Amino acid sequence: MIKPVGSDELKPLFVYDPDKHHELMHEAEGLPSVVISSQAAGNAVMMGAGYFSPLPGFMALADAMGACESMRLTNGDFFPVPVLCLLDDVAAIRGAKRIALRDPNMEGNPVLAIMDVEAIEEVSDEQMAFMTEKVYRTKDPEHPGVQTFNSHGRFAVSGPIQVLHFSYFQDDFPDTFRTAVEIRNEISERGWKRVVAFQTRNPMHLAHEELCHMAMQRLDCDGLVIHMLLGKLKPGDIPAPVRDAAIRKMVELYFPPNSAMVTGYGFDMLYAGPREAVLHAYFRQNMGATHFIIGRDHAGVGDYYGAFDAQTIFDEEVPAGALQIEIFKADHTAWSKKLGRVVMMREAPDHTKEDFVLLSGTKVREMLSNGIAPPPEFSRPEVAKILMDYYQSL
């Protein structure tokens, strides 16, 4: 099986030993504590689950700046984005060597992790602007990722963490949320050697489904891991339970047995385009995938990124040898009226736009809201039914 990034074995930060876990939970109740941001909570979950291995905890400012500048931490380790715990107010934890980090996304703000505090550093406006520009390629406050990143405060609290809970993800998505450790184990149990991963924050329509079949066939893969984001999205995106139901129905009906796993991970979307694509590849290698599909405008939003920037970054900016996972570079896929099947648009040079079935997201939402199924060349009827039921319930 493919090795994790920068290590021979995964280094999840979740405390699995029940006695140790109980001891730490008891200790946490007596520690100075702070409620962290949703984004920081997602980062803690990802570290706990092994996805960000071998990262030992929240980054100090120098490491965060290095990740932004060159995707290298001060010790030389590769990491493509800053993983910060930013706070507005540190009065409750100032001077403390050990603190409890509390979950903002669950009632009562239960303890998510314990941190050994190595530093509390104030981040300057210039440093925030530098990191924002490097990661998001824009400082536009209207960009949802920029807006979120700059809303968390200016105090960076850093140090190694011990994770004690997987937030609401394990409770709300017991059949879907999986750690990198669990996915690696299941890949091994299924006997898969070549595994392609597919990222989604949306339901999968026919073009997405066929793209996965294409990638599996062309890469000679044994299996596909559909790995959906379960965390917070921007307003208007379809909620995770609806996406989950739609994707499971598609896999049940249109994929052979033992060829596809439906899983999810606990993280809030960054909408960071190319940089987020690299992060996606990083943690897909950690979960055991040998290949990763990156299509048009991967992890993008609006018109902030070029259509294929999320592919070219692997050739132009990712340090050589940093990742072993291979990228399957896909074009936009759509139904060809000429050929009667889904194709990658770049592989049909004799086609015009009119030769494809192309529907905007706005048009699809409008149809579903009105109880009209998109054409079968665009969406499987069983998937469309689940989405129609959702939109008509709003």
Domain positions in the chain are 18-170, 177-393
The CA dihedral of 43, 114, 241, 179, to the nearest 10 degrees, is 70
Burial of 124 (0-12, 13-18, 19+ CB in 10 A): exposed
Residue 238 has pLDDT above 90, yes or no: no
Architecture of domain 177-393: 3-Layer(aba) Sandwich (3.40)
Query: Which CATH number is 18-170's, of 1.10.150.530, 3.10.400.10, 3.40.50.10740, 3.40.50.10330?
Result: 3.10.400.10
Of 51-55, 146-150, 205-209, 363-367, which gets the smallest average pLDDT? 363-367
Assess whether pLDDT exceeds 90 at residue 60: yes
pLDDT at res. 225 = 98
Q: Predicted confidence band at 219 (pLDDT cuts at 50, 70, 90)?
A: very high
pLDDT level of residue 201 (50, 70, 90 thresholds): confident
- How far apart CA 271 and CA 39 sit, in angstroms, is 12
| Average pLDDT over every residue of 97-108 | 97
Integer angstrom CA distances of residue 73 from 66, 68, 82, 378 = 5, 9, 9, 44
Q: What phi, psi does 369 have (nearest 5°)?
A: -65, -30
| Predicted confidence band of residue 166 (pLDDT cuts 50, 70, 90) | very high
Q: What percent of the chain has pLDDT over 70?
A: 100
Residue 28 confidence (pLDDT): 97
Q: What pLDDT score does 365 carry?
A: 85
| Active centre residues (catalytic) | 201-202
CATH topology match: 18-170 vs 177-393? no
| pLDDT of 233 higher than 80 | no
pTM of the model: 0.95
pLDDT at position 194 over 80:
yes
pLDDT value for 363: 86
Average pLDDT over residues 125-144: 97
Confidence grade of residue 394 (pLDDT, cut at 50, 70, 90): confident
How much is the average pLDDT of 58-67?
A: 98
Least trusted range by pLDDT, from 28-37, 196-205, 278-287: 196-205
What's the pLDDT band for 234 if we cut at 50, 70, 90? confident
Q: What is the band of 239 on the pLDDT scale with cuts at 50, 70, 90?
A: confident
Whether the per-residue pLDDT at 71 is higher than 80: the answer is: yes
Spatial CB neighbours of 363, under 8 Å, sequence gap ≥ 6: none
The pLDDT of residue 46 is 98
pLDDT band, very low/low/confident/very high, at 360 (cuts 50, 70, 90): confident
pLDDT of residue 206: 94
Other CB atoms within a 10 A radius of the CB of residue 251 amount to 19
Residue 215: pLDDT band with limits 50, 70, 90: very high
Exposure string for 346-363, b = 16+ CB within 10 A, e = fewer: eebeebeeebbbebeeee
The pLDDT > 90 percentage for the chain reads 91
Ranked by mean pLDDT, the top range of 67-71, 241-245, 352-356 is: 67-71
Beta-strand relationship, 223-229 and 195-200: parallel
